[in-house]
Structure 1
Amino acid sequence: MQEVLGIALRLIAFLGEGLRSVAPVIGILLVFQLLVLRQPLENWREIAFGLVLTVVGLVVFLRGLEIGLTPLGESASNALAGRGSLSLVVVFGVALGYGATLAEPALRILAEQVENLTAGALGSTLFVQTVAVGVALGLAVGAARIVLGVETTPFFIPALALALVLTFFAPERYTGLAFDAALATTGPVTVPLAIALGSGLALALDRGDVLIFGFGLVAFAALGPILCVLALGIYLGSPSGG
């Protein structure tokens, strides 16, 4: 009986955490809908049921990351560091970045919206694959930097400069899309794995200040899609690219 009570209390605590996460957004939407716009809620039962599913799904997802995916990423990072192979770390970064991107729900939503709004001119598959390649390359470069013991700035400045240059050559419609893609892909799947990879490699390789060498992979994962989507825009906007 005590065991069941303990499980129930933990479950309530987890649900409370999930509710606190989404309550501000729900509150703002309801205030504007009911008090500011003075519009009644249509299908309020379905909306209420959907909100309950959102809270439960968020709790389950975050707990799964905490006890499953993140420890697995840290374990793999420690094992990679033990091998001491730069090429293996790069390959792992590419595979992890690519796979994590395909699992990002926000990116799927963005890709479907892009395909609908462009009437299929930019398909969701091409967009997702472009972003996935960008994240894969970003994580590979970021992981290689940790193995080589190089600080972040020498990589960031050229990458940011290149992104700035590409914005002048890419069609305007791809500029905002590139930066939105970077935010959409650095979500609840990619971010924990990137942090686990970076901190795991830095700690296992004894790089000293973990804040210098262990972090920055999320930024690399965001810069990669920006560069790739801008490059895609330049290619598709050119005569040879159609």
Structure 2
Amino acid sequence: METLLEILNVIVTTVKDVIPIAVIIFGFQFLVIRKKPANLGQILTGFVWVLIGLSLFLIGLEWALFPLGKIMAEQLTAPSFIQSLGGISDIAGEISWQDYYWVYIFAFCIGFSTTIAEPSLIAVAIKANEVSAGAIGIWGLRIAVALGVAIGISLGCYRIVVGDPIHWYIIVGYVIVVIQTSFAPKLIIPLAYDSGGVTTSTVTVPLVAALGLGLSQTVPGRNPLIDGFGLIAFASLFPIMSVMAYAQLSEAKVNFFKSKRSQVDQANSSVRS
């Protein structure tokens, strides 16, 4: 009975959140544009499915993703687990940042896998492939963004473990982004900046936030409010760098093969002459 009441409460809350969106869309459609939209029944049915999907997703967050991220952080940072791997080897019995290497590995893997499965990234990659006439590969973009998120979250977990101020990492990161923007292909720059935004969506954010909070609660001397948040910033920043780096490497590869082909053509023409 408690489960049914909780599900009903989530559905009611979701309806309240979606109603303003529906009012704005249909208000403009009927009061400003003054035209009945095509397939109105299909649109209303889609809204119902959206409400059901959002409600089930929010329930899944509370019942699975948030607890899972916290439990994994607690288990990977437990002194007994670290000691079983040969950690805590100093005289004072304190844990050093190197002893948390499984946390960094887990952060990298979870960042990569959740980003690959991110629906918003899939949609952006498909549209980018369509408008670029195939110049931007769907899987190439998805893997580049996923690698950026994975590296960013791993570095963010390292920051939580050592307790460094977050602003230094973010400042240095955006300095690198500005420098890359000056040299990256113009085609990829807007997409790279958008790629940083699509990572902070339905699948990635819950697990990353839970991991950061769980890690800050279990690492000695860390404050969940000060140190637990901020991983999402890393997940947004590093994909920008990785996508532009991917474009720069692809451009360099194309230019290299073009120069090689030109050299071969020149050699063949000299032989013929």
Query: TM-score normalised to the size of structure 2?
Result: 0.82
Which structure has the greater CA radius of gyration?
2
- Matched with 2:89 is none
Change (3 A) 1:241 1:61: farther
- Matched with 2:28 is 32
Output the amino acid matched with 1:64.
Answer: G
Gaps of 5+ in 2: 83-94, 259-273
Q: How does 1:106-185 map to 2 (within 5 A)?
A: 106-185=120-199
CA shift at 1:93, angstroms?
0.9
Change (3 A) 1:101 1:142: same
Output the amino acid matched with 1:20.
Answer: K
Equivalent pair of 1:182/1:226 in contact (CA under 8 Å): yes
Q: How does 1:158-237 map to 2 (within 5 A)?
A: 158-237=172-251
- Matched with 1:16 is 12
Output the amino acid matched with 1:89.
Answer: V
CA shift at 1:220, angstroms?
0.4
Query: Which of the pair has the greater relative contact order for Cα pairs under 8 Å at 6+ separation?
Result: 1
Partner-residue secondary structure (3-state), 2:164: coil
Partner-residue secondary structure (3-state), 1:53: helix
CA shift at 1:21, angstroms?
2.2
Of 250, 256, 265, the residue aligned with 1:240 is 256
Partner-residue secondary structure (3-state), 1:172: coil
Q: Distance in 1 between matches of 2:31 and 2:59?
A: 35
Cα-to-partner distance string for 1:84-131 (whole Å, 9 max, x where unaligned): 623211111110100110221111111111111111111111111110
- Matched with 1:75 is 71
Output the amino acid matched with 1:205.
Answer: V
CA shift at 1:8, angstroms?
5.3
- Matched with 1:42 is 38
Partner-residue secondary structure (3-state), 1:67: helix
Identity, in percent, stands at 35
Q: Distance in 2 between matches of 1:11 and 1:147?
A: 37
The Cα RMSD (Å) is 1.7
Output the amino acid matched with 1:176.
Answer: P
Partner-residue secondary structure (3-state), 1:173: coil
Equivalent pair of 1:74/1:196 in contact (CA under 8 Å): yes
- Matched with 1:51 is 47
Equivalent pair of 2:163/2:222 in contact (CA under 8 Å): no
Moved over 3 A (4+): 6-12
Which has the higher mean CA deviation after the structures are superposed, 171-180 or 73-82? 171-180
What is the aligned residue count?
A: 238
Output the amino acid matched with 2:205.
Answer: V
